[in-house]
Structure 1
Amino acid sequence: MDIRKVQMSGGSSYIVSLPKNWVKKSKIEKNDPVGLIIQDDGTLLITPNTSGDQIQKIWECEVSASTDRTFFLRCMIGAYISGYTSMKIWAHGRLPSFAMEVIREFTNMAIGQEVVEETENTVVIKDLLNPSEMPLSNTISRMSVIVIKMHQDALLALKENDIVLSENVISRDNDVDRLHWLIGRQANLILNDVNLSRKMGISADDAVHFFLTSRIIERVGDHASKIAKNVKRLSDKKIPTEIVANIEDVSSNSLKIFHSAMEAFFNADIIRANQTIIDSKYIEEHCKKLNACSMDFETSVAINVVNISDSIKRVADYSEDICENVINAVVGINNKM
């Protein structure tokens, strides 16, 4: 830590000198303005960015014929979530055809990413989405609505033996992933750009809270997809209506727990969060009974029923995690007041 003494100037102003290395690195000249931002914890942030414009970061990646396709895609997703505003993909010669395929796949998956420049050996992708136009709370709300509908449709597919609906549920998991990546991206942007944080009215702590919750919701979506996959495997099996009814009942109650957890999240209600954790405990007992009943069937049926039961239980478990995050966040905020 660089310690500097506060001095008095003119009898009414307090001044402190700026570190020379920082001034040079920030390319600040004499008489240039700097921004002063008072943080919630009492610290003072000094920034050369007085316009409030989003910080521009460029990620560059060289590809060749030997580049692993999957690794390349994962790196692009990582750069997107990390908050790079532009991506430059290039090759010494002509860009491999697989690279163009991966780039198209990525721009279709990631929200706000568009190719703005393309030559034989270079592609530039730019973020065209204004982060402040996509509030984190709206994205979280949309994610929760999607995953609830996914679970409901997965159970409807089981009841009606609808393979097409099962496949539709599985495909919707991509929509949840895209929104989760967007939350992760915006959280990183907020953590690294205090001006954006102020513009969006979201603190760094809030950004982390939203990201942790979106990660949990994304996992709830994964289990809806897993249920749908197990339903597909049961399509040629005869499942007693009583078992299907029991699965529907347990799933419905588990989704009620999830809905209650999301209500606690949006309302910052720690009382409801605590009660939801208590209410979720009985889901495990119902799932155990469901698993025991499945043992009366042939192995191929029992395995898939148990898998469905486990995914239903995980929804309640993840709902508990959301509620615990709510309690942690609200108690943390109250302690700062």
Structure 2
Amino acid sequence: MIRRVQQIGDKGSFIITLPKTWCEKNDIHQGSELVINDEIRERSVLITLPKNANNIEQLEIEIPFGSLTDQRMIGRSILGRYLDGYDIIKLTEIPDERKLEVRKSIKALILKLYVSRETEIIDKAIEIHVSKEIIPPLTVIDDLFIKAKEMISDAVLAFFDGDFELADNIIQRDEDADKLYFYIVRTLKKIFRDPMMSSEYFRHDEKTNFNLIDALDLRMIASYLENLADSAEELATATLDGIAIEKGKQQKDLSRTFDQLSRLLEGSYKSYQTSDQARSIIILDETKELNILIEKKFDNIPLPVKNTLSELVECIIDIADLVGEQ
């Protein structure tokens, strides 16, 4: 189809008319939104109808229980299908003697997934229905950042104070971090397969020019933050195991260092949010200088604490590096 570009007046907008029969065939009417993507290739644009989340065909898959190579890995198999974008996941042919075990595994897993409902086991099968709710990934990544940062701060506090109750709470909160991370991975996988879906997930965000490179950066940052949350869980577990540092100068120095890293983490993430390359360079330099001091000063500290320091430094540097590459 070739259409002629017209202009309203001498200084007005440019318009393109579309044939009525073609519009009717494609269910385009007055008020319909069209997506214009000019990043396909040079001097080319792609015009498409945005997909309505309520009208997108539901992807469904069945997993015969006997087909699992390791039947103890029920949760991992279901999680893989969830991340692959399936909306209805059905585990079938469940032996009677394994029903309770399966239900227990699935109930633990769905705490980490966005699901709308879960059916009872009927005829040796169980279904998991993924929620249709669309949450902008940029909102989710902000939530994941806040969650991971708070978990690290609380894990350090629990470790220094020997606070078992707070440490146990941190371990429970890791499920919330997993839930946010898995949602981002699932959403971005769907967008990578069908770039036009990005209009559904990002149209309400301020960053309206979001492209696949941005999506890849988002996927990497989500991974960094998930690792940070896992590190907080590791430190909390060490606290529950009775690992500790005596109160004194070393603990005060460590506390001060964690405060510095927390400030740098905040700055690194802010530089990502605002695409501030100058700020990211400053953050990189400060973090690398601080890391040299950390390696010299804290050589003989418990491994979980050392790992947490290392994970914080890596997260700050990795996020700032992404900003520098934009």
Task: Name the TM-score, length of structure 2 as normaliser.
Answer: 0.78
CA deviation string 1:260-314 (max 9, x = no partner): 111011111111112111110122223223324x3xxxxxxx4x1x441332132
Q: Tell me what 2:231 maps to.
A: 223
Structure 2 segments unaligned to the other structure (5+ residues): 4-15, 17-23, 29-33, 204-209
Q: Tell me what 1:33 maps to.
A: 26
Given that 2:92 and 2:125 are in contact with CA atoms closer than 8 Å, whether structure 1 keeps it comes out as yes
CA deviation string 1:34-86 (max 9, x = no partner): 89854222455587987663342112100049863442211111111111111
After TM superposition, give the deviation of residue 117 of structure 1 in Å. 6.4
* Gap change, CA 1:114 and 1:204, over 3 Å in 2: farther
Q: Tell me what 2:9 maps to.
A: none
Given that 2:265 and 2:312 are in contact with CA atoms closer than 8 Å, whether structure 1 keeps it comes out as yes
* Gap change, CA 1:282 and 1:48, over 3 Å in 2: closer
Q: Tell me what 2:295 maps to.
A: 288
- Greater helix share, 1 or 2? 1
Task: Map residues 23-102 of structure 1 onto 2, 5 A cutoff.
Answer: 32-33=25-26, 38-42=36-40, 43=44, 53-64=55-66, 68-91=70-93, 94=96, 96-97=98-99, 98-102=101-105
Q: Tell me what 2:265 maps to.
A: 258
Given that 2:90 and 2:125 are in contact with CA atoms closer than 8 Å, whether structure 1 keeps it comes out as yes
Q: Tell me what 1:140 maps to.
A: 141
Is 1:311 matched up with 2:308? yes
* Gap change, CA 1:142 and 1:95, over 3 Å in 2: farther
* Gap change, CA 1:44 and 1:118, over 3 Å in 2: farther
Given that 1:176 and 1:218 are in contact with CA atoms closer than 8 Å, whether structure 2 keeps it comes out as yes
After TM superposition, give the deviation of residue 258 of structure 1 in Å. 0.9
Q: Tell me what 1:206 maps to.
A: 214
* Gap change, CA 1:280 and 1:57, over 3 Å in 2: same
Matching residue's letter, 2:317: E
Q: Tell me what 1:171 maps to.
A: 172
Q: Tell me what 1:297 maps to.
A: none
After TM superposition, give the deviation of residue 187 of structure 1 in Å. 0.8
Number of residues of Structure 1 aligned to a counterpart in Structure 2? 294
Task: Name the TM-score, length of structure 1 as normaliser.
Answer: 0.76
Percent identical across equivalent pairs? 18
Structure 1 segments unaligned to the other structure (5+ residues): 1-6, 14-30, 295-301, 332-337
CA deviation string 1:174-196 (max 9, x = no partner): 22111100110111122233443
Query: Separation in 2 of the partners of 1:264 and 1:49?
Result: 31
